[in-house]
Structure formats: C-alpha cells, structure tokens
C-alpha cells in the first residue's frame, strides 16, 4: 500500500514538473506580443484637432491722420464779394473769384476704453484752408482795386471711431462721429493803386468762433497688425456766423475797427463764414 502511494505521488510530481514545458511548447509565436506590435500601437494617428488661430493683438489706442480735398459752402462770403461790383459801378472789367474749394488735414487721437471692442474715443483736430476769394477792377485811367480774402479754420472736436475688421480679407472699415467748436480766421487785403498819393496796401485780420461737427467713414488695407491705409469720405460742418476785426486798420478812413464784425457793403449784415462741405481723401491709421 505504501508502495502504491509513493508511486502515485511520484507520478503527480512528474506531471507538475512537465506542465510548464508543455504549456510553453503549445504557445504559438504569433500569440506572443512583439516589438513590431508595440511600434504599431504607438504609431497610431492622433485624432485631428481644430486649428486655433492666433487672436488679434489687443491695442490701447489709435492715431489716425487724413489729408482731404473738400468743398466749402461760403455763400455769404461770395455774396459779399459780388456786392463790390455794385459799389464801383463806373469801374470796368470787374472780376470776382469765388471761394468754393479747399483742403483739410486732420488727426484723431483715440483711446480704447472697452476691451475687445473696436471703439476708440478722443479728440479730433482739423486744419481747413480755402482758395483765395478776390475782387478786382479798374477804371481805365490807372486806378485799380484788388480785394483778396484768405480763410482758414481750426476745428477742435470730441467723439469716437468704430473700426471693424472685414472677415477673410486684410481690410478694415471705420465710422467716425465728432462734434465741437471751430475758430475761423479771415485775412482781408486791400490793394489800391491810383494816380493820387493815396495808394495803399493794407491787411486786416478777422476772427470768430462757431460750431463744428463731422461724420466720416473709411475703407483701409491692413499693411500689418498695427498700420492700415486707404480712402475716406464724409461731411463736415464748420461755421462762424460772424468774424470781428482783431485790430484797427486805417487808410484815408477806418477800414477795420477792432471788435467790429465784417459786414456786407450794401446790406450791412454780418458776413457768415461757412466752411461746411463734403470731403474725400487719403487716410492712414496706426494702432498702439
């Protein structure tokens, strides 16, 4: 009995020792992981992610400079010049040159108070100049009169400009609205040549204040993230209902009395200087 038990125990031990070798032989090489399999797993493509574009850099303000051609509505001045013809009815070859065109140079200094919004607020400075208005005539006997009028205006306004980038294009559009006041300066020169000793060449300076306002729009090409240039157009109001002499000017009689308004020769009404008109020109802006 003891021999049988010993024999059975010996057979069980041999089976246990032989089992691992048998299991290894039964395992196929294809069933084992290989380096190639690991490489294949790690080389799997990552899922496509949406492309994230860089955000436009935030800016703190805007400097905008414009040069414009402009019309001017100087009907009051032109009427006063035309009245001089009736003042000298005996004179021949009267000629009047009307004031109707001009130029304007302007600059905005805008500050951005609202993050993420293309709105800048601040002052706008303009300088407006006009063509020279004139009257000239002679009497055919060596007597002549030339009356020249040069006008400039300096508006100062406050307002805002809204700038919008055009999607998919290197372009931006802007709209500006401003209001304030203007100073109008008029230089009047009298040049009289006669056969008498009373020839004179005198200049009187007049000045006055009035309302100013402007609305304009622009379309610009973006040369970079901060610099853009293009065209602008708009309409401007800049008008002084009267201008007064800044100093006394005398010839044979007073020509200009300090503090007195420039008036028409026949109706005695104050001459209004209205530099309102349409404008069109070039525009360049710089963000900072």
Q: Which residue has the higher pLDDT, 198 or 160?
A: 160
Average pLDDT rounded to a whole number, residues 176-204? 88
Distance of CA 270 to the CA centre of its chain: 35
Nearest CA-CA partner of 149 in 194, 189, 113: 189
Nearest CA-CA partner of 77 in 272, 286, 281: 272
Task: Provide, rounded to the nearest whole percent, the portion of the chain with pLDDT above 90.
Answer: 58
H/E stretch holding 204:
strand 200-222
Q: What's 39's DSSP letter?
A: H
pLDDT of residue 201: 87
Mean pLDDT over each residue of the chain, to the nearest integer: 83
pTM for this prediction: 0.75
Nearest CA-CA partner of 109 in 126, 96, 122: 122
Residue 81 has pLDDT above 50, yes or no: yes
pLDDT band at 260 (very low <50, low <70, confident <90, very high): very high
Secondary structure of residue 93 in the 3-state scheme: strand
- CATH number for the region 61-287 comes to 2.40.160
pLDDT band at 140 (very low <50, low <70, confident <90, very high): confident
> Which tokens is 27 given?
């395992």
Tokens 């230089």 found at: 187
Tokens 């090409």 found at: 221
Ranking 71-75, 110-114, 169-173, 195-199 by mean pLDDT, the lowest is: 195-199
d(C-alpha 91, C-alpha 87), whole Å: 9
**What does the pLDDT look like over 87-132, one tens digit per residue?**
766 677 788 999 999 999 999 999 999 888 899 999 999 999 999 9
Average pLDDT rounded to a whole number, residues 159-175? 95
| Integer angstrom CA distances of residue 209 from 14, 26, 155, 242 | 120, 108, 9, 8
**Max mean pLDDT range (34-48, 124-138, 188-202):** 124-138
> Which tokens is 246 given?
């800044």
Distance of CA 53 to the CA centre of its chain: 28
Residues 6+ apart with CB under 8 A from 69: 101, 102, 103, 104, 279, 280, 281
Are 72 and 102 in contact by the 8 Å Cβ rule? The answer is yes
């Amino acid at each position: 009995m003891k021999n049988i038990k010993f024999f059975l125990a010996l057979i069980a031990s041999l089976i246990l020792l032989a089992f691992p070798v048998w299991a290894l032989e039964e395992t196929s090489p294809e069933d084992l992981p290989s380096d190639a399999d690991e490489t294949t797993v790690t080389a799997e493509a990552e899922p496509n992610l949406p492309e994230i574009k860089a955000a436009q850099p935030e800016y703190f303000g805007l400097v905008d400079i414009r040069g414009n051609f402009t019309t001017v509505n100087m009907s009051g001045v032109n009427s006063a010049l035309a009245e001089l013809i009736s003042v000298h009815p005996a004179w021949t070859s009267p000629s009047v040159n009307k004031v109707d065109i001009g130029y304007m140079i302007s600059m905005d200094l805008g500050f951005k108070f609202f993050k993420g919004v293309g709105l800048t607020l601040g002052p706008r400075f303009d300088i407006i100049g006009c063509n020279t208005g004139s009257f000239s005539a002679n009497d055919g006997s060596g007597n002549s009169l030339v009356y020249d009028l040069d006008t400039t205006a300096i508006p100062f306004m406050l307002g805002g400009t809204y700038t919008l980038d055009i999607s998919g294009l290197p372009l931006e559009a802007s709209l500006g609205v401003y209001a304030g006041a203007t100073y109008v300066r008029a230089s009047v020169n009298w040049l009289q040549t006669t056969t008498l000793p009373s020839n004179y060449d005198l200049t009187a300076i007049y000045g006055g204040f009035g309302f100013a306002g402007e609305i304009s729009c622009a379309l610009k090409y973006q040369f970079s993230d901060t610099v853009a240039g293009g065209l602008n157009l708009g309409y401007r109001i800049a008008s002084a209902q009267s201008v007064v002499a800044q100093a006394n000017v005398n010839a044979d009689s007073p020509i200009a009395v300090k503090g007195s308004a420039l008036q028409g020769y026949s109706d005695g009404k104050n001459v209004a200087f209205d530099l309102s008109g349409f404008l069109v020109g070039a525009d360049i802006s710089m963000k900072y």
